Amino acid sequence: MEFFNSISGYAIGLLGAGLAAFMAGIGSAKGTGIAGEAGAGLVSEDPSKFGKAMILQVIPGTQGLYGFVIWFLAFNKLLPDMTVAQGFQVLAACLPIAFGGLLSGIAQGKVAAASVNILAKKPDDWSKGMILCITVEFYAILSLLASFMMLSRITIG
């Protein structure tokens, strides 16, 4: 416990806020990259499908936004004199979107890439790929809500 007391609750809370933005951002970067690679292949063959391919690529980017929202809310909770216990509360509250954003962003990128294949083969059915992507998005939203609700219950100062 001496180790944590030497760090301070503020530093532990900063770690949680940083993880929320960082890990969800990595998930979005990886997911949009995966979908973008598939979209670029399609657009090189059929430039008229750029708009729909771009929409599919952008979808995994929401996790990074969710992580940033939680970073902002967590950062606004932090005080220089907060206790170690309060720091751990902030850290714990940030973990759902940190891990949920990371994993769902990557998974959604893979689904979006597969949806680009739907767009390539059956352009009229591309909305089915959107629905598949939204299924993964649901779990990112649950992670966002879990972090938000946990943060809203923390009282500091």
Residue 30 lies in a domain: yes
Q: How far apart are alpha carbons 116 and 101 in whole angstroms? A: 22
The total domain count for the chain is 1
Q: What is the 3 state secondary structure string of 20-46? A: HHHHHHHHHHHHHHHHHHHHHHHHHHC
Asked if residue 5 has pLDDT above 80, the reply is: no
Total count of residues recorded for the chain: 157
pLDDT tens-digit map of 37-95? 999 999 999 999 999 999 999 999 999 999 999 999 999 999 999 999 999 999 999 99
Residue 3 lies in a domain: no
87 occurs within a structural domain: yes
84 contact partners, CB below 8 Å, separation of at least 6: 1, 4, 5, 7, 8, 9, 12
In a domain, 1, yes or no: no
Say what the pTM is. Answer: 0.92
- Residue 26 included in any domain: yes
Taking only the tens place, the pLDDT of each residue in 14-39 is 999 999 999 999 999 999 999 999 99
Distance between CA 143 and CA 74 in Å, rounded? 15
Q: Which domain holds residue 45?
A: 8-152
**2 in any annotated domain:** no
Q: Please check whether residue 15 lies inside any domain of the structure.
A: yes
User: What's residue 19's pLDDT?
Assistant: 98
The enclosing domain of 106 has a CATH number of 1.20.120.610
Predicted confidence (pLDDT) per residue in 85-124, tens digit: 999 999 999 999 999 999 999 999 999 999 999 999 999 9
Does 132 reside within a domain? yes
CB 102 within 8 A of CB 28: no
